[in-house]
A and B are shown apart, each in its own frame.
Chain A
């Protein structure tokens, strides 16, 4: 199975500042035939199901604010939240869908400083 490792485990950011979450996979998620990285980011608020925020490593899901962006390729990926808002407090997970079983990172808890 592909192991997904996120860092940090938690971070506290002031309102309006930037939050950066990293995700590393144990093998490349770049599919050469279509040049796509099979990596998604989810946001999970307490008591709610995960919500897809970013897919194909950098494509923002419909309805997700432009302050969310994803980058990276191969084995190293980043989720950036520019100008953190109060409603962004959540746990964020990366997930690879390159191969079966799909696997998730352990999560990063984002709080307000």
Chain B
């Protein structure tokens, strides 16, 4: 079955960077886009960006595009999200999600808590 397993929680200082991994299994890695969505404590869901594992083409939310880097490793079927210049407002649970088609997010990782604190 489709599985997305994310890396563990992180605590980072303001100004630092964080890299979160999303290891996929149970399907052909290059056939489905992976998206990143975050959720600040007690808040709603915010889309951050997407990557096509086949050719590494990306799309980003405008407000975060300068700080967000998404990459993929086809040898391990893993997608990575790196967020730089961290601020306290970046404290959130970060989810990866597999698109079924047309940005329909059908399968989700378990989430990775990122805390930004001095």
Contacts and interface: CB of A to CB of B under 8 A. Distances in A.
A40 interface: yes
A102 B108 contact: no
Contacts of B47: 101-104
Nearest to A50: B108
A61 interface: yes
Contact of A102 (B62, B103, B110): B103
Judged by DSSP, the binding face of A is: loop
Interface residues of B, number: 19
A100 B102 CA distance: 10
Interface string B14-50: 0000000000000000000001000000001111000
A95 B105 contact: yes
B80 interface: no
A110 to B, nearest CB: 15
A49 B110 contact: yes
A105 B44 contact: yes
A30 interface: no
Interface residues of A, number: 20
Interface of A: 38, 40, 42, 49-52, 55, 61, 93, 95, 97, 100-107
30 contacts: A38-B102, A38-B103, A38-B104, A40-B104, A40-B105, A42-B45, A49-B95, A49-B109, A49-B110, A49-B111, A50-B45, A50-B105, A50-B108, A52-B105, A55-B100, A55-B104, A61-B106, A93-B44, A93-B45, A97-B103, A97-B104, A97-B105, A101-B47, A101-B62, A102-B103, A103-B47, A104-B44, A104-B45, A104-B46, A105-B44
Q: Which 3 A-B pairs have the closest CB atoms?
A: A97-B103, A49-B108, A104-B45
Interface of B: 35, 44-47, 59, 61-62, 95, 100, 102-106, 108-111
